[in-house]
A and B are shown apart, each in its own frame.
Chain A
Amino acid sequence: MASLGALSAVSVPAAPVLAADAAPNPWFDPSYVTDNWDTIVGHLGQHVRLTVGAVLLGALIALPLALLARRTRFLAGPVLGLSSIVYTIPSLAMFAFLAPFTGSLSATTVLVGLTLYTLVILVRNFLAGLQGVPADVREAARGMGYGSARLFLRVDLPLALPAFMAGLRIATVSTVALVTVGVITGNGGLGQLIVGGLNANFYRAEIVTGAVGCVLLALVADVLLAGLERLLTPWTRAAR
């Protein structure tokens, strides 16, 4: 015990107080953030990487699926249904199912799970966007000799872009929240702080840092995507 005398002597209170209140435990504590800046930034970086990775991968998978569902009408039901069913798998169970294949501790487990979850939002929004492109416009473009690649890039994409971006924004915000569940593999981004704080006798400053960090990250990501949408669709502003 002598070894720890120096550590504990500093803050042992003179009068007995409840153990949980032995040290002040404020909800907001700037010194927690400054003292643990490197840890917080590390978790934040992982949170951003997982979110960006999952949404990008999700978009890459969702786009062909949406195109396929539009082209072959009878596939639309199964594609949408399947992505919805995947979404209903609880995230805790999802990571547990994936772990044996993707590695128990690797961030890949979380990335794959999150990607699957983005599909339900992205496929639906992408398909809605594509179906919103007027058939006569596409007919006219074909008549002008547009091939299918050019038709997609010059006609479908610009007209469906607002629906695409809406899907990406919802998927991004929901993924920011879902990353925290990755805690069960040790790759939960800011979720590590939330669970770590809960397990350290309710360290409120740590819990709040994780939670507020998630909220801010979601807001920033949404604002950035909204800005990107404005940049990509200048004609929507000119029309107003």
Chain B
Amino acid sequence: MHSRARILVPLALTGLLLTACGESGSSGTGGAEASGGSASGDACAPVAGEQLVVLEDDQRLQNADNVVPAVNMATAMANPALLPALDAVSAALTTEELIELNAAVDLERQSAEDVAAAWVEENVDAATLEQGSGPVVVGGSNFTESTILANVYADVLGAAGFDASVREVGNRELYLPALISGSEIQVFPEYLSTVTDELNELTNGPTDDGPATGDVQETRTALQPLAEQAGLVFGEPSEAADQNAFAVTQALADELGVATLSELADACGDGSLVLGGPTECPERPQCQPGLEETYGLQFADFRELDAGGPLTKAALQQGEVSIGLVFSSDGALAQQG
């Protein structure tokens, strides 16, 4: 409670300030902000606030992009201790923890190596791991989360007796063939739906609609034959997911008493929501059309921002949009205070 009061008081102040700004009238929703959340017709107008929360995608509109270890098949065959060690990471990792890990690097500027080592120390019991040996190279893309996860995998494999190292790689189009050949990298922290659709395109050619869905097990089942055909083995998907998600400020969620997108649709029948997202959002089936058709949400306005980047997050926090597209493991979603 104590920490909550610490957040709420300045929040109320911010709200007042923004209300004052709204009246002088540059923003299109200024009027809505001024009259607060109680009157009908603008119940879901943006409410400023620092703390962002993701509303649960309870109808599974988004593909399940859970973190899943991808391993070269020959390497996995030759080292039976490898996959169990990576599955130990999947078993322990949650989206909340992934958010905290990202926040430690992206916001607190700690090094990815230190953050990964601390997490492995706390969450994986090295004594229970099957022991293996020999060199293993874990690939990691050049963005925070991938670097952290690659280091987590390497640390766990190190604890399991492997001589593990991390190698920075570039685009998926280039590293996926390398992982399949296994000569330069053998392990990669992948995302379930993304890699499923990518492997599907590699095998069956480009399609508009890949086999990945919002269901983890369904996607896992679709991935199995594609992986075998490509020469890859996948471990267990972890609970932690980095996928498209829709966030509101904690202040708006508290005011409306909502935690899921369905609840938001019930609470916001008056069509006063302002949506923020990337330029293509009004056309993409998993963005605005999906929210409208799957959840029955109605939007008063759409603001062109970015794909889960700094623009969207700032627009949410400053009360310019009510709901915005973010990535579910973004460090900015970390609980403050």
Contacts and interface: CB of A to CB of B under 8 A. Distances in A.
Interface of A: 1, 3-4, 6-8, 10-12, 14-20, 22-23, 25, 35-36, 95-96, 99-100, 103-106, 183-188, 192, 195-196, 199-203
A7 B100 contact: yes
A183 B50 contact: no
Interface centre among B142, B147, B169 (most CB of A within 10 A): B142
Contacts of A6: 118
A40 to B, nearest CB: 13
B168 A186 contact: yes
Contact of A4 (B100, B139, B177): B100
B174 A201 contact: no
B45 to A, nearest CB: 21
B100 A195 contact: no
B51 interface: yes
23 contacts: A4-B122, A10-B108, A11-B108, A12-B337, A15-B10, A16-B7, A17-B50, A19-B332, A20-B332, A99-B177, A103-B183, A104-B174, A105-B170, A105-B178, A183-B170, A184-B174, A186-B168, A186-B170, A192-B168, A199-B142, A199-B144, A200-B143, A201-B106
A16 B11 contact: yes
Describe B's contact surface by its main secondary structure: helix
Interface string B142-163: 1110010000000000000000
Given A18-B50, A183-B142, A186-B168, 16 more contacts: A1-B97, A4-B104, A4-B119, A7-B118, A8-B104, A14-B6, A16-B11, A16-B50, A16-B51, A16-B336, A19-B317, A23-B108, A104-B175, A104-B181, A200-B106, A200-B144
Nearest to B119: A3
B171 interface: yes
B329 to A, nearest CB: 13
Interface in B81-133: 96-97, 100-101, 103-111, 115, 118-119, 122-123
B275 interface: no
A185 B173 CA distance: 10
A18 B52 CA distance: 11
Contacts of A10: 108
Given A4-B97, A19-B313, A186-B167, A200 B105 contact: yes
Interface centre among B50, B174, B334 (most CB of A within 10 A): B174
B185 interface: yes
B257 interface: no
Contacts of A35: 111
The 6 closest A-B pairs by CB, nearest first: A3-B122, A199-B143, A201-B106, A19-B332, A186-B169, A16-B50
Nearest to A29: B109
Given A8-B108, A36-B111, A105 B144 contact: no
B225 interface: no
Contacts, number: 130
Describe A's contact surface by its main secondary structure: loop
A105 B103 CA distance: 29
A195 B332 CA distance: 20
B317 A105 contact: no
A218 B56 CA distance: 50
Contacts of B147: 196
Given A8-B103, A19-B107, A105 B185 contact: yes
B40 to A, nearest CB: 30
B314 interface: yes
B107 A22 contact: yes
Given A8-B103, A18-B50, A192-B142, A184 B170 contact: yes
Contacts of B106: 200-201, 203
Contacts of A195: 142
Contacts of A17: 50
Interface string B298-337: 0000000000001001100100000000000001101011
Nearest to B123: A3
B184 interface: yes
A104 B10 contact: no
B170 A185 contact: yes
A99 B174 contact: yes
A95 B105 CA distance: 30
A36 B113 CA distance: 11
Contacts of A11: 108
A12 to B, nearest CB: 7
Nearest to B173: A96
Contacts of A16: 7, 10-11, 50-51, 336-337
